[in-house]
């Protein structure tokens, strides 16, 4: 009887080992994006971009099958915490990828890191995780929030604007936006206005802008916020009188709705669909063919995140159990970014180029942002000096 019990125990142990090995044959990735509400277009672009990259990789990373689990954070931090716990505890994901908004990143950062997983933000890049609170398991494929707005401040200088009205949403990324812009803009900010993140009526703000008579409006209003602001702006007759220099107020996620209303609106970003390199041409043409839309930066950054993960999984030969080796492989960023030059700083945020862009209509009738000129080369965020991960 004892011999039989021992044999049964040995068989059970064998199947545990086999099942564990089988489980490791899959790379599990949780995608957390805003997939409902006014900002859903941004999350859908990101999801599309990641899935397109996975398709280009034949559904595998480092030779292993990939299982994606996508969840909607609903742009609610409490919901995001609940959903990310599901990804970590129920789905046992190896990586969490996302989110769009910085308040969601703040909510999910600690649960993911505490669980010993890798968090890769494809859009949100708050300053609080770039300096002393940086973490070796956290990477960003977009930028540190301030960087975009530092570049916008410099772009405003180049465009000759002396008096600017500033309008941003009242949440972490909005405050980072204002701080970054003020860091480099050399002129006068006639008013700093923080609007609630759920604003639907920009009439009062537009009236104040009209009364202030600034040289330009600096704004950061992503997704539905940008659509509402620009439509109100145009109805008030301000678009031709007070030019706009912005980030994400008019981009490929909102241009299908804004159309001609957004033409000639300036922006700043690390990339544009008309960027002239082979990897980008392939990405944009495949995205347009697959989704009948021009990709936004959200899609590009998620596409790059998938390629980044693939490069790391390949480097460690699919062995994700050695977290130090996996983190080191991610840090090398040994993939070809569609935006061109890309590398990670010590804090896991990119060092990259930034460009002034302008909205234009394409030959096929769709709309896109196009590069006007380079603002910064190999630009690093100012918080990295306080990061001690290395």
Query: What's the confidence (pLDDT) of residue 25?
Result: 81
Query: What's the confidence (pLDDT) of residue 150?
Result: 94
Query: What's the confidence (pLDDT) of residue 6?
Result: 46
Domain 10-145+276-351: which CATH number of 3.90.1150.10, 3.90.550.10, 3.40.50.2300, 3.40.50.300: 3.40.50.2300
Angle of helix 297-315 versus helix 323-332 axis, rounded to 10: 130
Helix (H) or strand (E) holding 138: strand 138-140
| 308/332 Cα distance (integer angstroms) | 9
Contacts of 36 (CB under 8 A, 6+ apart): 72, 74
| 319/99 Cα distance (integer angstroms) | 26
Report helix, strand or coil for 287.
helix
Whether 3 shows a pLDDT value over 70: the answer reads: no
Q: Are 307 and 349 in contact (CB under 8 A)?
A: no
User: What's the average model confidence in pLDDT over 160-164?
Assistant: 98
- CATH class of segment(s) 146-273+356-379: alpha beta
Q: Which pTM does this prediction carry?
A: 0.89
User: What's the average model confidence in pLDDT over 140-145?
Assistant: 95
Query: What's the confidence (pLDDT) of residue 38?
Result: 81
Q: pLDDT tens digits for 365-388? A: 999 999 999 999 999 999 999 998
Helix (H) or strand (E) holding 278: helix 278-291
Domain(s) of CATH 3.40.50.2300: residues in the chain: 10-145+276-351, 146-273+356-379
Q: pLDDT tens digits for 338-365? A: 999 999 999 999 999 999 999 999 999 9
**Cα 311 versus chain centre, distance:** 19
Q: Are 104 and 32 in contact (CB under 8 A)?
A: yes
Least confident span in 65-69, 149-153, 196-200: 196-200
């Amino acid at each position: 009887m004892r011999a039989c019990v021992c044999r049964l125990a040995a068989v059970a142990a064998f199947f545990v080992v086999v099942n564990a090995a089988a489980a490791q044959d899959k790379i599990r990735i949780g995608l957390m994006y805003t997939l409902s509400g006014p900002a859903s277009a941004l999350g859908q672009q990101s999801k599309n971009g990641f899935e397109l990259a996975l398709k280009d990789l034949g559904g595998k990373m480092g030779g292993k099958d990939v299982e994606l689990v996508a969840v909607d954070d609903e742009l609610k931090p409490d919901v995001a915490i609940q959903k990310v716990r599901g990804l970590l505890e129920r789905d046992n994901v190896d990586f969490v990828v996302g989110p769009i908004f910085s308040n969601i990143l703040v909510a999910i950062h600690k649960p993911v890191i505490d669980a010993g997983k890798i968090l890769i933000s494809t859009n949100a890049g708050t300053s609080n995780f770039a300096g002393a609170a940086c973490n070796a398991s956290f990477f960003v494929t977009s930028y540190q929030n301030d960087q975009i707005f530092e570049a916008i401040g410099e772009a405003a200088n180049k465009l000759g604007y002396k008096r600017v009205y500033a309008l941003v949403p009242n949440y972490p990324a909005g405050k980072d936006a204002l701080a970054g812009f003020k860091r480099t803009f050399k002129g006068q900010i006639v008013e700093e206005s923080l609007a609630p993140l759920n604003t639907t009526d920009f009439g009062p703000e537009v009236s104040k802008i009209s009364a202030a008579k600034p040289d330009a409006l600096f704004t950061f209003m992503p997704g539905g916020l940008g659509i509402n602001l620009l439509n109100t702006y145009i109805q008030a007759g301000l678009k031709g009188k007070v030019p706009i220099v912005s980030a994400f107020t008019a981009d490929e996620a909102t241009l299908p709705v804004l159309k001609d209303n957004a033409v000639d609106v300036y922006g700043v970003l690390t990339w544009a669909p008309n960027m002239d390199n082979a990897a980008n041409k392939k990405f944009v043409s495949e995205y347009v063919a697959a989704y009948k839309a021009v990709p936004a930066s959200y899609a590009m950054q998620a596409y790059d995140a998938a390629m980044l993960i693939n490069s790391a999984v390949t480097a460690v030969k699919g062995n994700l159990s050695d977290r130090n080796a996996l983190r080191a492989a991610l840090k090398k960023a040994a993939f070809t970014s569609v935006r061109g030059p890309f590398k990670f700083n010590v804090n896991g945020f990119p060092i990259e180029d930034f460009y002034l862009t302008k909205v234009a209509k394409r030959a096929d009738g769709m709309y896109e942002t196009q590069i006007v000129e380079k603002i910064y080369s190999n630009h690093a965020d100012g918080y990295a000096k306080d990061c001690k991960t290395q």
